[in-house]
Structure 1
Amino acid sequence: MSPDSKKLFNIIILGVSFMFIFTAFQTCGNIAQTVITNLNNTDFHGSGYTSMSIIYGVFSASNLISPSVVAIVGPQLSMFVSGIFYSLYIAVFIQPATWAFYTASVFIGIAAAVLWTAQGNCLTVNSDENTIGRNSGVFWALLQSSLFFGNLYIYFAWQGKTHISVVEEDGDLEVQPD
């Protein structure tokens, strides 16, 4: 494999990885308030809107320190650890607790700043002046397809259903018709 082919392969792997992370995260973010509204749990008092505000507020502030973190830890490890925090945020919905939901929102805000800084580093390292446009396009096309796949899943999984309720047999959340 030539060095240029290897760099393009790295960009494709980067884009596919982000597509998977953000298919889960953006879909979760899009439906969070709907899921929360339908929880029959009096102990949970979280808000999807407040969570997103926390995430993006912390994300904005954390951009001041993220270049230092990526420089010290390295871009690959930074992206790996950040991806774990994205997974933990999504996992909070398995057994919702208000404190865990908002704590995960803070951590994902920090992780997002580190993730996007490391992504920029990887994109730059694997590009030159002749390939940066193509590589950026490939990465962003793969990343943005996450919105398509996540929303397509919700469309088919929730088609004709308007209410989420707990199924008594196993305690899992299930979308059901009214």
Structure 2
Amino acid sequence: MVTAFNGEESELATEHVNRLLETAGHLDLIRLSKLPLSPSPYHSPDRSPCNLVHNTALCRLTVRLNVDPYLSPEVSDWADTANELRGAFSTVRSYQLERITVHFRFALPSSVNEENFRQNCKQLDADSRGLHDVMARPYFRALREARIEIDVGHISRDDRTEEMDTFVGAMEPIVRRLFAPWHERGVVNVTSVTAKWS
């Protein structure tokens, strides 16, 4: 298992992880833990993926992403998310990859910007084209399950259960569109959890 974190030392960490992957070659599990974009307690500026080219025995892959769907369309986190996934998936060179887990963590903001949310959703199809091309590559033919986990939480004192449930309901069809080629194959499984974060 290899874990790559983003943060102040993310470039150095990614370089070391890529060197380890190149040296190790045949690993059966890679875990990429990614933190999000933009300056907030949940965000950091670097989202460089690790390179999986040398891991030709890869069987399972986990990617963790924090996403803010309420940013303005000019700085849409969906575009960065699609690019992040495309960057990671495009380096896959294993024909044995059977299970991919993508864990999305969403922080429900104190005030929800519905207009930005709608505009970002409209832009999603254009942002996902390159990602969809990568998903159609032969390296993913053995894929049996793409498990998409939606984790929604907040840190306010108020009970926001209803808002979070509504958000999950809106997010499920969006993530299915993000993974459309695999959804059409019937291998996408979307799960969700909502909680108050401490």
TM (norm. structure 2) is: 0.26
TM (norm. structure 1) is: 0.28
Larger RCO: 1 or 2 (CA < 8 Å, sep 6+): 1
Rg larger in structure:
1
